Structure 1
Amino acid sequence: MGLDSVELVMTFEETFGIIVPDEESENIITIQDMVDSVFEKIIINPSEKCLSQLVFYRIRNAFESFGNYKSVITPDSKISDLLSKTDLESDWDQLASKIGLKIPELVDIDLNNSLKSEVRFFGFKIFDRTKPIAENTLRKLTDWIISMNSEELIDIQEISSKYEIERIVCLIIEEKIGIPLSEIEPYHSFHNDLGID
């Protein structure tokens, strides 16, 4: 394990009030492995309320205000299909206001669809642009909003599900390593997919 990995594990330990033995931390390969490790060590307080459902309802209500019918606003709906094609930036600001929670910022490729996903210099690929936010589903948007607002939405002392742990873990990775939430998936390997040593 490299220094970044050790610091991440220490942050997870501090955040959740747990201890991850060195032998165990060496076997944590993916984000899901970390979530499972935390889940095994804390007391879960099940709730009758489903956090992702509550946040999705807020998102759905916001999209209804753009003239969309409730029946077409599903977790698998593509964000860009529910907003105007002419002024995405303005719609995005209105959406944030109507949801009443922090939402991810649009990226360059959202605002300028003529940009290519790869940045090249003299024909060589330098890096990939961050994937467009608006080309994702409402399910993904719900996940990102929960992560971004986890301090407000999740009581760390009263975690009710593995999903809540996942959303907090993803936010910590974004804050500590600088990888956008939109680029973090539970199945990602810390080393191979996210480049964390």
Structure 2
Amino acid sequence: MGLDTVESIVAFEQHFQVAIPNRTAETLYTVADAAAAITVLKSLSADPARTAAYYRMLTQLLACLPPATTEATLLTKLELLGAGPARLAALAVCLQLRMPDLPQPPLAPQLPGWWQRLFGGTVPEAAPPPPSPNWAQTTIEDLTEWLLAQNYAQLLPKPTTLYEVQRAVIGITSNQSGVSVPEIQLTDSFTNDLGMD
């Protein structure tokens, strides 16, 4: 294990108030592995279903957004992706929470310029498929989970189920790796996907 990984293990131990044995730590390759191990070590419910913490956060978030907003509303529809700092700051103030880093909306594929249309030439290749998550398809449901992870210390001080442990592990991993919460998936490898050594 490299220094980044050891520091993450220490951060997990401190937040969850649990000792992770070295043999267990050496088997934690993904974010999901860490959450599952902590859940077992703490003898918590292995239920991955959303808990009351999610629904409280969702209710609080919906109260800060336009009335027709639902859990399935796309973030692009609300213009939250790539929103200016003032818009996100206002939402953060309403929620009294730190907002996760939301990306700029993807650019439309570039059309051939006038020079290429007039004289020919190559047309730029199609854009590569969007990374996970597909930002254009992210919803209020995703933002709710990101807010739980971003603010795990405040919202999930003592997780009680696998679901809550997963959100806290994502938040801690974001702090340790420098990768933003929305870009961390449970299937991500600490070393290969998140660049931790």
Interval of TM-score (by shorter of Structure 1 and Structure 2): 0.7 to 0.9
Q: Any idea what the Cα deviations from partners look like across 1:113-132, whole Å, max 9, x if unmatched?
A: 4799xxxxxxxxxxx99989
- Alpha-carbon separation, structure 2, partners of 1:84 and 1:179: 19
State the identity as a percent: 24
Provide the C-alpha distance between the structure 2 equivalents of 1:26 and 1:61, rounded to a whole number of angstroms: 43
Q: Does 1:192 align with 2:192?
A: yes
Report the counterpart of residue 181 of structure 2 in structure 1.
181
Verify: 1:13 aligned to 2:13, yes or no: yes
CA–CA separation in structure 2 for the residues paired with 1:92 and 1:113: 20
TM-superposed CA distance for 1:36, in Å, is 0.6
> In structure 1, what is the Cα distance between the partners aligned to 2:4 and 2:80?
41
Residue equivalent to 2:83: 88
Counterpart AA for 1:61: A
1:88 is aligned with what amino acid?
A
Q: Does 1:162 align with 2:162?
A: yes
| 8 Å contact kept, 2:177–2:195 | no
Segments of 5+ residues of structure 2 without an aligned counterpart are 111-129
Return the structure number with greater relative CO, CA threshold 8 A, min gap 6: 2
Query: Partners in 2 of 1:24 and 1:93 — Cα distance?
Result: 40
| Candidates 80, 92, 101, aligned match of 2:97 | 101
Partner secondary structure for residue 82 of structure 1: coil
Which residue pairs with 2:115 in the alignment?
A: none
1:81 match: secondary structure: coil
Q: Choose from 141, 144, 147 the match for 1:145.
A: 147
More strand by share: 1
DSSP-derived class of the 2:58 partner: helix
Change in 2 beyond 3 A, CA 1:15/1:93: closer
Length-normalised TM-score, structure 2: 0.73
Q: Which has the larger radius of gyration?
A: 2
2:109 & 2:132 partners in 1: Cα distance?
11
Contact 1:78/1:135, CA 8 A, preserved across alignment = yes
Cα RMSD between the aligned structures?
Answer: 3.2
Where 2:64 maps in the other structure, the secondary structure is helix
Cα distance in 2 for partners of 1:147, 1:115 equals: 32
Q: Distance in 2 between matches of 1:11 and 1:115?
A: 42
Deviation for aligned residue 1:180: 0.9
Q: Which amino acid counterpart does residue 161 of structure 1 have in structure 2?
A: T
Contact 1:96 1:102 in 2 (8 A): yes
More helix by share: 1
In structure 1, runs of 5+ residues without a counterpart are 117-127
What's the secondary structure of 2:77's corresponding residue? helix
Q: Is 1:9–1:20's contact at 8 Å kept on the other side of the alignment?
A: yes
1:151 positional shift:
2.1
Q: C-alpha offsets along residues 122-167 of structure 1, whole Å, 9 cap, x if unaligned?
A: xxxxxx99989786221221112112222222233xx222122112
1:122 matched residue in structure 2: none
